[in-house]
Structure 1
Amino acid sequence: MTYGSETWSLTMGLIRRLRVTQRAMERAMLGVSLRDRIRNVEIRRRTKVTDIAQRVAKLKWQWAGHIVRRKDGRWGLKVLEWQPRTGKRSVGRPPTRWIDDIKRVAGSRWIQAAQNRGTWNSLQKTDRCPAVDVYRLM
């Protein structure tokens, strides 16, 4: 389920869909139906599976650090630093970008923070993806 998740923009809708799918898979593993009315917390306790949203956020964080530290001239870092040419913006709120949740946690100078692996890992452990944290409160 997490194949390629490092490149996803983590939106609330995506996180919700991932969690619903994970819960359905866990229920199938245990042979439990929705009609049995067993709480999700109990199912998670029985399966001992980590939350998919936290896993995806961790994979994305690790991938971002890897891309920034890479020095072989591949296009990954060039894409992160690319700025579009001038032009008209579309109407409405801009869509969530890949980099938005990383900037929320590490700040606008996240590329410099990612150069130091120890600092980058400590940021990951103290602050998780804000979209994951907000959804947990709901």
Structure 2
Amino acid sequence: VRLEQVQYFDYLGVLIEGSGKQDKEIEKRIENTMKVYHSINKSFINKREISTKTKMNVYQAVYKPILTYGCETWILTRQNKSKIQATEMKYLRRVRGVTKMDRMRSEQIRKDLGVQSVLEFIEQRQLSWWGHLQRMNNSRQVKRIWEAKIQAKRRRGRPRETWDSAAEKALENRGKSWQEAKLIARDKKQWRKFVYK
């Protein structure tokens, strides 16, 4: 069977790019999330008679899951992060009743609404998946693909960030090396405690 080579394709709701980047997938996530925002902004988010708690329940149950679907495997660029944060804060500012003109910091808005940042949530999901990969049997196809090293000439310039290098940075930010984290990841409960502390 001859398979056609394509630039990108949709698999289980996730857009896979031939280049290995995730820009189009993240753009699609943001676009779908903004569709939800515009469909409920006037009829729901803007309604004063609807409690903040109810609005935040919808944020947690609908808005955030659409934005972050499949985020476990993302490699985020600075630009991706900025766009994701802008989409996150669009909803949260509206619920808090402020605009950009009020110059209220995003951290303060999240604190007032009792919610963590979406980027922090994404990092937790990625580390959770990293731990799952560590515990996975070496014969599993997913594990074998993850550990495979592709032999190719590296282009000039700064090396592109990989999923592993992003995970390593996240581990270092939590005070653990790759090897130290591997030991913790063996115990599912301990790993969960480490990731979600």
Q: Which of the numbers 30, 34, 47 marks the counterpart of 2:113?
A: 47
> C-alpha deviations, 1:54-100, integer Å up to 9, x for none?
11100100011112212284322112210112x42111111110011
Taking a change above 3 Å as real, the CA distance of residues 62 and 28 of structure 1, as seen in their structure-2 partners, is: same
Does residue 107 (structure 1) correspond to residue 177 (structure 2)? The answer is yes
- Alignment-derived partner of residue 91 in structure 1: 156
- Alignment-derived partner of residue 51 in structure 2: none
Single out whichever of 107-116 and 91-100 deviates more from structure 2.
Answer: 107-116
Which structure carries more relative contact order (alpha carbon 8 Å, separation 6+)? 1
| Contact 2:89-2:106 within 8 A present in 1 as well | yes
| Contact 2:138-2:144 within 8 A present in 1 as well | no
Does residue 63 (structure 1) correspond to residue 123 (structure 2)? The answer is no
Q: Distance in 2 between matches of 1:100 and 1:19?
A: 22
Matches within 5 A, 1:1-138: 1-71=67-137, 73-85=139-151, 87-104=152-169, 105=171, 106-109=176-179, 112-113=182-183, 114-117=185-188, 120-121=191-192, 123-124=194-195
Mind listing any 5+ residue stretches in structure 2 that lack a counterpart? 1-66
Q: Which amino acid aligns with 1:82?
A: A
Q: Which amino acid aligns with 2:177?
A: G
TM-score when normalising by structure 1: 0.71
Q: Distance in 2 between matches of 1:39 and 1:116?
A: 38
Q: Distance in 2 between matches of 1:39 and 1:122?
A: 29
* SS state at 2:162 partner: coil
Taking a change above 3 Å as real, the CA distance of residues 124 and 88 of structure 1, as seen in their structure-2 partners, is: same
Taking a change above 3 Å as real, the CA distance of residues 103 and 41 of structure 1, as seen in their structure-2 partners, is: closer
Percent of matched pairs sharing the same residue:
26
Aligned residues: 125
| Contact 2:72-2:125 within 8 A present in 1 as well | yes
Q: Which amino acid aligns with 2:158?
A: R
Taking a change above 3 Å as real, the CA distance of residues 75 and 48 of structure 1, as seen in their structure-2 partners, is: same
| Contact 1:102-1:110 within 8 A present in 2 as well | no
* SS state at 2:163 partner: coil
